[in-house]
Amino acid sequence: MATRKALGRGLSALIPPATEAAAPAPAPKPDAVVAEAAPEAIGAPLFVPISRIAPNPNQPRKAFPEEELAKLAASIREQGVLQPLVVRERGGGYELIIGERRWRASQLAGLDEVPAVVLDATDRAVVEMALVENVQRADLNPIELAHAYDELVRHEGMTQEEVGRRVGLDRSSVANHLRLLELPEEIQHDLIDQRLTMGHAKAVLQAPEERRVMIRDQVIRGGLSVRATEDLSRRIASIDGDASKKKGPGPSRDVHVVDLEDRLRTALQTKVRIVGRRTRGRVELSYFGEAELERLTERLLGGDG
């Protein structure tokens, strides 16, 4: 009797090639997450009207570059869709599990119907299959991977170890991706658009939360390496840690001065200290390197300096 294979070992374990006859249905294991596929669909893809197929709302891949879709559409016009989509029945139609890129390109190519294998799959199985397929093809950027892992951990109740086994990674790799979701949106977009690497992002995460955008600005402006970014983040974290230790209880400060410090810190993305009272004192701004000093100068002078 055939043995069901884990998702992480490839989609061929779920969908046999179209030229092969369907294997006898195996006895389901207690922890199996993929429901039995419809026997008449496996090995004999149906031709399904494109208008009856809806995208998977939990598709891990969010970016579909227009240039890539145009090239694929041109190929589909010449040769057709060579690899069937994978769908499940949903609401009188079908929901995509695997193949959204081919589905989108087929629409651009003007096709009315596409070949599709119909599976009876659980919500959890749909998330896993879509994730594994994209991971195996290296189609996902780090933030898309992070959201996909988060979906499995938070909404499907899987541990980081379980997620790692499904996609062939160790637990620490999964944990590192999940930490990316702690970054501000602008830094996440930098990862998506490849302005920063995964190594840069991990280095930025070593710094205090309120300092991460400032470090990101300096990394992009100065073209810093991952090693230089790590050094900068550690140095800033150390300075901020020393400053917080020195504060102590001390006398209470004017709440208006404290509020102004916070507003300036947010606006300038650097450490700000106001010494004195509202009537007299000084404002101290911290910077780390020439690029940071130049950024602060431009910000204070409104770009006229």
Q: What is the pLDDT of residue 253?
A: 66
Q: What is the pLDDT of residue 4?
A: 36
Residue 305 domain-assigned?
no
Residue 234 domain-assigned?
yes
Run of H or E residues at 115: strand 113-118
Instruction: Provide the token pair at 52.
Output: 């009856």
Residues 120 and 230 in one domain: no
Q: Which of 100, 128, 151, 292 is catalytic?
A: 100
Residue 148 domain-assigned?
no
* 100 noted as active-site residue: yes
The residue from 138, 160, 194 where one domain ends is: 138
Find tokens 């041109």 and name the residue.
74
Residues 130 and 201 in one domain: no
d(CA 205, CA 176): 10
- DSSP 8-state class, residue 51: G
Run of H or E residues at 101: helix 100-108
Cβ-proximal residues to 298 (8 Å cutoff; 6+ apart), any chain: 305
Residues 120 and 227 in one domain: no
Residues 11 and 119 in one domain: yes
Residues 213 and 283 in one domain: yes
The residue from 138, 155, 170 where one domain ends is: 138
> Any idea what the CATH number is for the domain that residue 60 is in?
3.90.1530.30
Residue 145 domain-assigned?
no
Residues 119 and 205 in one domain: no
Run of H or E residues at 98: strand 93-98
Residue 169 domain-assigned?
no
Three-state SS sequence of 250-295 = CCCCCHHHHHHHHHHHHHHCCCEEEEECCCCEEEEECCCCHHHHHH
Domain holding 13, by residue range, is 7-138
Listed residue (159, 196, 165) closest to 178, CA to CA: 159
Cβ-proximal residues to 297 (8 Å cutoff; 6+ apart), any chain: 305
pLDDT, one tens digit for every residue, the chain (305 residues): 333 333 333 444 434 344 333 333 343 333 333 333 333 334 467 899 999 999 888 777 777 888 888 988 999 998 899 889 999 998 889 999 888 889 999 999 999 999 999 988 888 788 778 777 767 666 678 898 888 888 888 877 888 888 888 778 888 988 999 999 999 999 999 998 889 999 999 999 999 888 888 889 889 988 999 999 998 888 888 876 655 555 545 456 677 777 788 788 777 877 788 887 777 788 888 777 777 788 788 888 875 54
Q: What is the pLDDT of residue 241?
A: 61
Residue 253 backbone dihedrals phi, psi, to 5 degrees = -100, 155
Residues 101 and 41 in one domain: yes
With beta carbons less than 8 A apart as the criterion, state whether 101 and 144 touch. no
Find tokens 């069901």 and name the residue.
4
Residues 119 and 11 in one domain: yes
The CA-based angle 175-31-62, given to 5 degrees, is: 45
Residues 132 and 187 in one domain: no
The residue from 109, 138, 167 where one domain ends is: 138
Run of H or E residues at 130: helix 123-136
Q: What is the pLDDT of residue 8?
A: 39
Residue 282 domain-assigned?
yes
CB count in 10 Å sphere of residue 285: 16
Please state the separation of Cα 127 from the chain's center in Å.
14
Residues 207 and 112 in one domain: no
Give me the number of domains the chain comprises.
2
Residues 25 and 123 in one domain: yes
Residue 45 domain-assigned?
yes
Residues 133 and 12 in one domain: yes
d(CA 156, CA 149): 10
Beta partners for 85? 116
